[in-house]
Amino acid sequence: MLFHSSLRKELARTFGATLVVLVTVVMTMTLIRTLSEATRGVFNPADVLIIMGYTVLSDLPMILSLSLFIAVISVITRMYKDSEMVIWLGSGRGLASLLQPLLRFSWPIFVVIFLLAFVVLPWAFGRIEDLRDQYEKRGDIARIEAGQFQESASGDRVFFIERDAKDKLAGTHVFMVTRDRGKETITSAARGTVQTIGADQFLVLENGQRLEKTEDNAALNLSTFARYGARVGADNPSARSVTPPSTLSAIALTEAPTARNLAELAWRCGLCLAAVNLLLIGLGVAGANPRSGRTANMALAFLIFIVYFNLLVLGKSWIETEKVSISIYLLGLHGGTLALAALCLAARHNQWTPRFSLQRRVTP
């Protein structure tokens, strides 16, 4: 039908424009947050763009759901304002008849959201955790930054060095503090180089001094040296010791039905079910009121979306703390939302309006 075809084209244009705007906003916010984490030493600054890309991928299910929700409300509201819905309703077709073109347009988006939630999302979170773990397990030499105090991977040393611009493995004004078995050692040297001796790496210091202090002895031992070697830790290539539920596949979550795994599974199912419910809600609440203008519907749309997805987050925490079971949560939140959306759509379709009868008392 020509009307259905024009409706889907307008939905595609509005959905695409909304998606571009939302992705741009999310990318900007994600970049700021990732840069903040990189400055605190959570991520490698060189991996900021990669981590930002993985984070945006993990947020795409919510972005697609919101884009579809806004597109449906915007298009249906525009049809009311331009009296197209008056012609459509006057031809004997109700509001529910628009479900067919809306579902024909939306089903590919639902499939993409399902694949993102159950396939791409755990893969993206897994890659983020791998990059974070590799950066935490990097060797002492990789941790050293010129002009900054850096802690070793084992946490028992603090380094400071001014790196030589000509040689990345050499530096001047080396300072190192070591704590081991109740003994604290402060070592300083005029120059230091990194050398590989056998299978280990050593920081070879030249023209420096060592100050040793023990907990059971208040005396300080001071010694000078012309050449001194200190073994530094290498990169740790071992796998991640902790596997968060967000990095597990749906099959792995169901095979180990712990509270945290069930909460993650409920979150992924909720992303898919929320997209369908928001489509029905958007069709049910869309309309035009000359007194309130078009922005009223958009404000209501954002309010509904925020409340719905906050309930998703709240339900996930409830399942993690075993306050509610996953079946009751899914049935209560998403099933209840579906029932309310269907009721709202049925009321708009059949034009149900509350009637109030006023009875006058006749005084004798």
Q: What global pTM score does this model have? A: 0.75
**AA letter at 110:** F
CA distance 133 to 43: 9
Average pLDDT of the segment spanning 245-265: 89
- How does pLDDT run across 21-32, given as a tens digit for each residue? 999 999 999 888
CA distance 130 to 253: 19
**AA letter at 294:** R
Which of 88-92, 212-216, 287-291 has the weakest average pLDDT?
287-291
CA distance 285 to 335: 18
* Long-range residue pairs from 93-100, CB within 8 A, at least 24 positions apart, any chain: 94/349, 94/350, 95/283, 95/345, 95/348, 95/349, 96/345, 96/346, 96/349, 98/7, 98/283, 99/283, 100/4
- Pairing of β 183-197 and β 200-214: antiparallel
Percent of the chain with pLDDT over 90: 22
Average pLDDT of the segment spanning 228-250: 70
Please, which pLDDT band fits residue 349 given cuts at 50, 70 and 90? Answer: low
Q: Are 97 and 283 in contact (CB under 8 A)?
A: no
- Sorted by sequence, the CB contacts under 8 Å of residue 11 that are 6+ apart come out as 71, 72, 75, 102, 105
End-to-end CA distance of the chain: 64
**AA letter at 334:** H
- How does pLDDT run across 79-94, given as a tens digit for each residue? 777 766 666 666 666 6
Q: Are 10 and 95 in contact (CB under 8 A)?
A: no
DSSP-based helix, strand, coil % in the chain, nearest 5? 60, 20, 25
Helix axes of 336-350 and 259-285: crossing angle, nearest 10 degrees: 10
The pLDDT of residue 178 is 79
